[in-house]
Amino acid sequence: MNSKLSVNRRLIKFEILTLTLVLLLTLANNLRADTGACNGGNVTVPFLDVAGNPFFCSIAAAYFSGLTNGTSPTTYSPNDVVTREQMAAFISRTLNQSLKRGSRRAALRQWWKPQRIPETAKTILGGDLFAVESDGADLWVADFPNGKVMRVRGSDGKLLGTWTGADHPRALLVAEGRIYGTGGSYPGQLFAIDPEQAPGNVISLATVEGTPVSLAFDGSRIWIGGSGGHIFDPQTAIVNPIPAGICPLGFAYDGTNMWATGGCSPEGKLFKLDSSGNVLQTINIGKSPRYPLFDGANIWVPYGVDQLGGQAALAVVRASTGTVVATLTGNGLGQSAGTMAFDGERILVPNYYGSLSLWRAADLAPLGTFSVGPGDVHGTCSDGVNFWVTLGSSGKLGRF
């Protein structure tokens, strides 16, 4: 009996020892990693197949930057062929990482994605707020029915000054050290504000036929959308009509050409224009396209909802070719009556009845839809850190 018990004890001890050895070997294997000298220091990566590789430091940099995670937790497979799918993933990750790390939000450690606009992030300005534009430090906000343009400090939302005498301002533009605006009555008004001067009346520059609703700048001239469209030269104060036939509603400048959404017919088109406003290319979009936005590569055009209803959508158009590369729906997208915004990484789309839809520009990934509380959203902009949203008839400017 004692002999059998002794044997069993020895077997148990042997099994425990064996299991212990297996666990130690497994742990040791998992802890193995390749190390190499890079830029005067030793660098260790979790891969076991890159030691001595002439591109070890490049592989290490790709791993640490988030470009690659290897083909497994412990292998990089440096000699394998890279597929088109893998290359697309590498490029997308590189672009996303560079945009995130290079943003002003990164420098301020603002890595979160806003989920709402709390009351603490709203400035009460009163009136019915339409447009908002950033000059990099302050926000300029148009109060449509009261004919006012207000200057708001971007750091804390404090009202700094109010300019009066704007006839129903609907759109604003920051260019050449001035703030330009359109008055939305008939005939329309083009006005300016000198931000270096004390608040007072706006400076009336020109009368514009029709009802102007949007502004854009090409480096020398101001393009005015709505009621046929016009081009204003600040040097000569001359207003010239855009050639008839396209009825531009909104503009987006890509650094070379101006793009305009056509408002003459419900079918909906996007036009590429030359410096005189002549049509170089026509792209079919969808009914009722609104105000376009350029993100450095693509032009975003909301469309699809008018007084008759319909499915809201976003057309993403490659500026270099005029090709519609994607049509986006869902993600809370609804009727858009205002301007979109781009912060260098994300596209913000206002939905008229109190919500915002967010997309990542690099890969067109939807990032969610967010309620902004009471107030119809008319205008948005970005100062590089925050998005700013006018909450219409609530008289509030929200920081998102």
3-state SS track over 272-340: EECCCCCEEEEEECCCCCCCCEECCCEEEEEECCECCECCCEEEEEECCCCCEEEEECCCCCCCCCCCC
- pLDDT at residue number 18: 42
- pLDDT at residue number 30: 44
Phi, psi of 70 (to 5 degrees): 85, 180
- pLDDT at residue number 13: 47
What single-letter DSSP state applies at residue 107? Answer: H
Measured between alpha carbons, how far is 255 from 238 in angstroms, rounded to an integer? 23
If one looks up domain 119-399 in CATH, what number appears?
2.130.10.10
Which residues lie closer than 8 Å to 372 by C-beta, 6 or more apart?
116, 117, 354, 355, 356, 389, 391, 398, 400
Locate 108 and state its tokens.
């301020």
**CA distance from start to end of the chain:** 79
Residue whose token pair is 């890079």: 38
Phi-psi region of 28 (alpha: psi -120 to 50; beta: other; left: phi over 0): alpha
Locate 278 and state its tokens.
């002549």
pTM score of the predicted model: 0.80
- pLDDT at residue number 37: 87
Contact (CB, 8 A) for 147 and 169: yes
What is the rounded radius of gyration, in angstroms, for the C-alpha atoms of the chain?
Answer: 29
What single-letter DSSP state applies at residue 72? Answer: B
**Which part of the chain is CATH 2.130.10.10?**
119-399
Q: For the chain, give me the number of helices (H) and strands (E)? A: 4, 30
At CA 382, angle to CA 104 and CA 220, rounded to 5? 105
- pLDDT at residue number 36: 85
Measured between alpha carbons, how far is 397 from 315 in angstroms, rounded to an integer? 28
- pLDDT at residue number 118: 85
**Tens digits of pLDDT across the chain (400 residues):** 445 445 445 444 444 444 443 333 343 344 457 788 888 778 788 888 888 888 888 888 788 767 788 888 888 888 888 887 777 666 676 666 666 666 777 766 777 778 888 888 899 999 999 999 999 999 999 999 999 999 999 999 999 999 999 999 999 999 999 999 998 778 899 999 999 999 999 999 999 988 899 999 999 999 999 878 999 999 999 999 998 778 899 999 999 999 999 867 667 899 999 999 999 999 999 888 999 999 999 999 999 865 445 568 999 999 999 999 999 999 998 876 579 999 999 999 998 778 899 999 989 999 999 988 776 888 999 999 999 999 988 999 999 9
Locate 231 and state its tokens.
């081009």
